[in-house]
Amino acid sequence: MLKVGIIGATAYTSLELIKILLRHPEVKITYLGVRRTDRPKISDIFPALKGLLDLPCETIEQKEIPGNIDLAFITLPPTISMQYVPLFTGKGIKVIDFSADYRFRDKSLYEKWYKAQHTDSKGIETAVYGLPELFREQIKKTNLVGNPGCYTTATILALAPLLLKGLIFSEDIIVDAKSGVSGRGREPKEDTHYCECNENIEAYSVGGHRHSPEIEHILSIKTHQKVSIQFVPHLIPMNRGILCTIYAKPKAGVYGRSSLHDDDVHKLYKEFYGKEPFVRIKEGNEMPKTKDVIFTNFCDIATKVTENRIIILSVIDNLIKGASGQAVQNMNVMCGFDEKMGLL
């Protein structure tokens, strides 16, 4: 049994992570660390866990590393996370980090967007981006994974096949993203108040969301071209789920045709993701719905070629495939377990 710890146990993603790990046959949760809390047991913080996991939460202020864990999930906020990660990796403990601190290959890009000096140069250099569909082989060999952002996962999976084949203009892409409120975190703020979110939709961070450079950075590296997107996220009155509606411009045809056709693109996606356990391509005119993927690790994708555009729609659960499910998928890959274990 793999002994795992969760550092930052009070986040929404941690609750989902615990639920998944409790179903995982090869894992035992042995440690829960928090920065501060007035409720000593995890089941006091999340009553849903009563009778399932009644572990105490230990404060990690002293930065003493617990001795009984083989792998740590770090669910701390960006810029905080990098203060803890090296303590674990330094002792040979595998780490899957949920923050942005280990998602960039380019330290200066991170520092520009997160407005902080990165204090773990070695970590950021060696970490692997934890999107198994694109980086599986590297994940197998690493001890440190930077777990992708939620918008990022939905967008990259939607765009990768077209960009890798060079079928769209890589600098003329619009990503109109919609997310449930859990994406905003658990801290009570004016903009997470029920009456402010319910019966309302609004855009936020227009032209400046931090997932935008992450998407461009990873896609540029992976597809060897400059990728530039126009990203606008919106807050939707629902707990969880992300839908990305992506508008790209066709550049070339595929399968021997001079222009892009609906069925060619569909075939391309079916082939590209044919062996992936967690990516499903919609058939016919069916559109992906967040309700079909919430509480699962699936990403559902549909494509549609119109007169001037190709539209790609992708949905995930922001807390599962966009965070905790993907982290467990990464753990499975890193530890040699069946990649689907605990996730179906």
Would you please indicate which residues are annotated as catalytic (active-site) residues?
150
Please, how many CA atoms are within 13 Å of residue 213, restricted to the half-sphere of its CB?
17
Number of residues near a copy of itself (by CB under 8 A): 73
Binding mask 122-161 for a copy of itself (x = CB under 8 A): ----------------------------------------
| Rounded least distance, CB 63 to a copy of itself, Å | 27
| Rounded least distance, CB 6 to a copy of itself, Å | 19
Cβ count near 207 (within 10 Å): 9
Read off φ and ψ for residue 300, nearest 5 degrees.
-100, 135
Binding mask 209-248 for a copy of itself (x = CB under 8 A): -------------------x-x-x-x-xxxxxx-x-x-x-
CB closer to a copy of itself, 89 vs 314: 314
| Rounded least distance, CB 219 to a copy of itself, Å | 16
Q: Which two tokens stand for residue 205?
A: 């961070």
Nearest to 330 by CA among 139, 144, 141, 137: 139
| Rounded least distance, CB 244 to a copy of itself, Å | 10
Return the residues of window 168-187 that contact a copy of itself according to CB under 8 A. Answer: 171-172, 174, 176, 178, 180-182, 186
Using CA atoms, how far residue 58 sits from 11, 31, 123, 250, in Å, is 15, 8, 25, 53
Return the residues of window 266-285 that contact a copy of itself according to CB under 8 A. Answer: 280, 282, 285
With both helix axes pointing from N to C terminus, report the angle between 325-335 and 132-141 in degrees, rounded to the nearest 10: 40
CB closer to a copy of itself, 274 vs 336: 274
Cα–Cα distance for residue pair 81/79, rounded to 1 Å:
6
Nearest to 144 by CA among 209, 97, 179: 97
CB closer to a copy of itself, 47 vs 92: 47
Q: Does 261 bind a copy of itself (CB under 8 A)?
A: no
Alpha carbon dihedral 264, 268, 270, 273, in 10-degree steps, equals -170
Nearest to 237 by CA among 286, 288, 290: 290
Q: Does 259 bind a copy of itself (CB under 8 A)?
A: no
CB closer to a copy of itself, 47 vs 336: 47
Q: Does 22 bind a copy of itself (CB under 8 A)?
A: yes
